[in-house]
Amino acid sequence: MFVCFLLLCSSHSVFAESGYDLWLRYHRIDNTTLYNNYREANGEVIFPGSSDRLNAAKKELRLGLKGLLNIDLNEVQHFSKRGVMAGTPESLPLIAKTSYIDEIKKLDDEGYIIRSVTINGKQVTLIAGKKDIGVLYGVFHYLRLMQTQQSLDNLAIKEEPKLQIRVLDHWDNLNGTIERGYAGYTLWDWQRLPGYIDPRYIDYARANASIGINGTVLNNVNANARSLRTEYLIKAAALADALRPYGIKVYLTARFSAPKEIGGLKTADPLDPSVWQWWKDKVKEIYQYIPDFGGFLVKANSEGQPGPQDYKRTHADGANMMAEALEPYGGIVMWRAFVYENKRNVDRALNGFDEFKPLDGQFNKNVFIQPKNGPIDFQPREALHPLFGSMPKTPLMLEFQITQEYLGFASHLVYLGTLFEETLQSDTYAKGKGTTVSKVLQEYKKTNGISGIAGVPNIGTDINWTGHLFGQANWHAFGRLAWNPDIPVAELAEEWIRMTFSNDANVIKTVKHIMLSSHEAAVDYMTPLGLNHIMNFATHYGPGPWYKDPNWDAWDYHKADETGLGVDRTMKGSNAVSQYKSPIREKLNDIKTCPEQLLLWFHHVPWNYKMSSGRIMWDELVDHYYRGVD
């Protein structure tokens, strides 16, 4: 009986899994030939060095080899058979003997190579970074090769992140709840910090490092000034210590009125010297606790949050005040561009561009402006935010929503990789054809020295992290695209399936089809043909085109009447089209050339308008809804 029990325990397949292990399951390789090849390739390991990051990397390699291959990492000084060596030029002097030493030295600080090399006649896989963090990223990549059952022969991999700052913006409140979170409560156990470090912080860090995320904003943009008080800084510092080995920096949201709320000042006016000084002192204090603190994320003068406009100052006045305080320590400000007037006669789609475009060039060099992917609000499908391509002097940090606020919470399977890709590959025409959003974001590294991207995660205390197992795929897709916004999403979906479920061709084909068609299906059953913001107020998804309260009226977003449906944003309407560059502007402006998937976003269309299918608009709309449901 007992023996049977032991046998059961040793066999992975009989465990009901909770999903906790995410895409890092490291289950035994089920292909015998590969299993034997991999075991041979990992016979010996040279991995000196003992920094926190190298230790994290080694720990991961050990975990991976044990799980995938049932190998206990065998550390040696010299190879007697085939093996792996990992390190930086500092930690692993042997690297200097390879022909790759120059390439390694030239790598970006987070970059790495994985190369098949020969050392003393032995075949070796070299995992090398310029810095320790590169080695950690390299190890995750190396394990991924095996998890997705790739060959380990003739490896010639070189990776550097295409965007520098890759952050998750948690909308987590100090009371434990998460705004628009559908997977339980916040991971940050503020009550027990700094004394108790939940092991889950480490698994959170591992998961993020495995996909290249290097920053986390701990708290909600609808900010609580208390998070800047000393007691909370000490707690945040403990989190920063836990995450640091995995290359993850901690950032905080900064409530603009904090000098008044917790600083005892009479004003938060950014041009008042005492306010200026308050932020300088606060920032100095933060760096005493968190020496590599990343900086502030700020939601100002948006949805009731305080901001510089309360004092008739501009966003630039506000952002620059904080930027100046952070600058000596290398910190940044991420200033959100999600602003709207909430007036019935104003087209909300115009507000972000109108407020920020005139300020281009007025921000300090460590300020990012952070627009959402579209000008309304994380809708199932958005037109592109017109600020992309329009702020050449100010680095923009795109903000995606990974949590499915408008896409069915954690109840609907909607793979967002395709949504992210659609935005990133959209052409802004900023510098002629082919100036995709991805390129615009990357270009800021050259022009402004910084670049970045942010995602509002779907992570909480649920045992599977994201409520719905497929939510994990959205976290994964965001991180991988943050590292390289041009990876085809179909590849990422496949990678995630292989790592999460199986390398079986049938599983891959079936699940991939579900994933890659799921976003379009959701758009079809929620807001086809460019409809948006017609959701039910309470749930933010089920339909509520009739919704009306003193603050907003869904009708303003669809304008259904006897003449037709959709919002006229053409030159004859609100003229939102003019915020886009030529020739997009003209294309969107003309009902005949406007892409049908955005038709009702930009045009008020007669019900009997002939669509390209030959159907009238109403029938086409109905057809999309049915298609989505099917």
Interface contacts to ligand GCW, rule CB under 6 A: 171, 179-180, 221-222, 299, 303, 338, 377-378, 405
**CB–CB of 223/305 below 8 Å?**
yes
Residue entry with tokens 């909607």:
414
Q: Least distance from C-beta 179 to ligand GCW, angstroms?
A: 5
Q: Least distance from C-beta 74 to ligand GCW, angstroms?
A: 49
List alpha helices for 246-347, DSSP H. 258-261, 273-289, 315-326
First to last CA, the chain: 49
**CB–CB of 97/125 below 8 Å?**
no
Q: Least distance from C-beta 399 to ligand GCW, angstroms?
A: 8
Choice between 51 and 177, CB closer to ligand GCW: 177
CA 347 to the chain's CA centroid: 28
Choice between 378 and 483, CB closer to ligand GCW: 378
Question: For residue 385, what are the contacts with CB-CB under 8 A and spacing of at least 6?
Answer: 337, 352, 353, 371, 372, 373, 374, 375
Question: For residue 224, what are the contacts with CB-CB under 8 A and spacing of at least 6?
Answer: 173, 174, 255
Choice between 303 and 553, CB closer to ligand GCW: 303
Q: Least distance from C-beta 185 to ligand GCW, angstroms?
A: 16
Round to whole Å and give the CA distance between 392 and 482: 20
Q: Least distance from C-beta 78 to ligand GCW, angstroms?
A: 56
For residue 349, which of 380, 379, 374, 378 has the smallest C-alpha distance?
A: 374
Nearest residue to ligand GCW by CB is 377
Which tokens go with 408? 């069915």
Q: Least distance from C-beta 593 to ligand GCW, angstroms?
A: 30
Residue 303 annotated to the active site: yes
Choice between 405 and 421, CB closer to ligand GCW: 405
**CB–CB of 95/104 below 8 Å?**
yes
Residue from 324, 377, 590, 619 carrying the catalytic annotation: 377
Residue from 327, 355, 405, 422 carrying the catalytic annotation: 405
Annotate 120-178 with DSSP letters as a single string: TTEEEEEEEESSHHHHHHHHHHHHHHHHTT---SS-EEEE--SSSEEEEE--B-TTS-B
Residue 421 annotated to the active site: no
Choice between 221 and 492, CB closer to ligand GCW: 221
Residue from 292, 303, 491, 586 carrying the catalytic annotation: 303
Q: Least distance from C-beta 538 to ligand GCW, angstroms?
A: 12
**CB–CB of 553/342 below 8 Å?**
no
- Enumerate the β-bridge partners of residue 119: 122
Strands 156-159 and 122-129: unpaired
Round to whole Å and give the CA distance between 584 and 126: 47
Choice between 166 and 299, CB closer to ligand GCW: 299
Residue 354 annotated to the active site: no
Choice between 171 and 409, CB closer to ligand GCW: 171
- Report the catalytic residues: 303, 377, 405
